[in-house]
Structure 1
């Protein structure tokens, strides 16, 4: 998957405006080199991010190329990881094959609509917008707009991953929860049970703290697990099912451990997992729980097919 739309731009890494002069850019770079150098107590990852930022905009030629979009296929520098192609992905389109998982609903569709609406409002009425996914345009947009695209791409990637698990799995995307007015990104049903999944990308490292996810990109009043739990309980009552586990999926670089599990409280058993390990989790379940019988899976699928509504 391409870099997140929430990956920091070189200007954000260096802490300057895109309109900063070359001298201001150079001073910021030199100051941050001193502040982030590991030998002076800084972060090696942040030190590397500063160097990558300078490589993209450090000279007049490189800066002009970056600002024009010519350097868009190079990764935006980020302390989470280094390298990888940039740019926004196209919407997920499941390929028709009897070997792929059944898939219903439109992953990321609602989020892309929000992104496009906000992007058009931000650019301004009457302004021609031939490609709202142009990498140079996306990275210049406010974070709250880029967040919608990052969310859509995360949902699309989860749908793509689940589709490879085979016909024994079914995925419902962007499921409406009538009682709360919210939604659950994905319901995944397979031999290991029924999972309620949120596919996220906050553009920063996250971790569990006191039964909730925290991180630089997560707002203080944002409680991802509590919200997922609330929606899952409401949907379970609406449809008459029981979820095996609640799962939040994040990019691999955004979680230090492969998987972290809530051990206590009402959300006990809920997990946050690296995206690359999602297939393993969906095949084996959480904690090696009992596998559902074929009849039970068929019953749950029928009940969900009758009760699920989409955003």
Structure 2
């Protein structure tokens, strides 16, 4: 919850300054519990946030660790690519990981990472050197559109790691151009995932707070536009260009921002749509979405070839 560039800090949730003493922090926590408790008319989601905030700063040891911060630096180390091999990202490891990985093409979150670094330095001002552009204090003080760039990049990278762990039976393309101007991330498809359970268009998002559903669309305080409609539109562009049929559409969100880990909406514009908590993504991709068409045998190779020939990256 509090490791998102868009989320409020634990101190913000408790309504205090980071410099508050331990006694003041404890009083603020008790007050916020009373204010947000569902039995007294409070919001259940906010009540959970208050409890989580206390877990992070409620003890001397926890508070010290939280104040040091972990930053928002690279969650993944770039993999070098060679001709004919897949390219992408992998989590840094202290030992060699010999497990079979999914085939991965493109750079998840790459465009937004690069754009964030350019704009955060412009925002800091000429002549100012940012020692760490991912420092939590720097990120949280930045304008919302910059924090949104970084949050989206982190969300895409998290999805990439999950898909990579599914194994060699899966292929994933990241940051796929889906119409519009070249290099325009607003007209891209975050991920295309091909596996035995089907072919899926995937949107990785972090809106910075809980979301709701209304008439087949995601709504919430931090939700711009129509995410599901936009996702389906981009999938249609890719489907026409490659001559393939998508089995379903997945919207992947942070666990804390959804009420249920797997929320199947049924078919929207003829495509099964699922809202998925990040921790449940591998489950959905392995078993498939309800009503989605599985892909097997030679069809997997045919679809992969068609996509390889048609996919372009932002």
TM-score band, normalised by shorter chain: 0.7 to 0.9
Partner SS, residue 262 of structure 1: strand
CA contact (8 A) 2:211 2:219 kept: yes
1:154 lines up with 2:155 in the alignment? yes
Structure 1 residues 128 and 236 mapped into 2: Cα distance closer, same or farther (>3 Å)? same
- RMSD (Å), alpha carbons: 3.5
Q: How far is the alpha carbon of 1:187 from its aligned partner?
A: 0.4
Q: Aligned to 1:88, which of 51, 63, 72?
A: 72
CA contact (8 A) 1:179 1:234 kept: no
Structure 1 residues 213 and 267 mapped into 2: Cα distance closer, same or farther (>3 Å)? farther
Deviation per residue, 1:129-166 (Å, 9 max, x gap):
12111122222223321111111111111111111111
Which residue is equivalent to 2:7? 7
Which residue is equivalent to 1:144? 145
Structure 1 residues 169 and 13 mapped into 2: Cα distance closer, same or farther (>3 Å)? same
Q: How far is the alpha carbon of 1:178 from its aligned partner?
A: 2.7
Deviation per residue, 1:59-91 (Å, 9 max, x gap):
xx99xx98xx97143xxxxxxxxxxxx532514
Q: How far is the alpha carbon of 1:43 from its aligned partner?
A: 3.6
Unaligned ranges ≥5, structure 2? 77-88, 92-96
Taking structure 2 as the reference length, the TM-score comes to 0.79
Find the aligned partners of 1:166 and 1:12 in 2 and give their Cα distance: 41
Which residue is equivalent to 1:216? 221
Which residue is equivalent to 1:253? 256
Find the aligned partners of 1:289 and 1:45 in 2 and give their Cα distance: 32
Could you tell which deviates more after superposition, 199-208 or 173-182?
Answer: 173-182
Which residue is equivalent to 2:281? 278
Q: How far is the alpha carbon of 1:18 from its aligned partner?
A: 8.2
CA contact (8 A) 2:101 2:165 kept: yes
1:226 lines up with 2:253 in the alignment? no
CA contact (8 A) 2:106 2:173 kept: yes
CA contact (8 A) 1:208 1:260 kept: no
Unaligned ranges ≥5, structure 1? 74-85
CA contact (8 A) 2:14 2:50 kept: yes
Partner SS, residue 8 of structure 1: coil
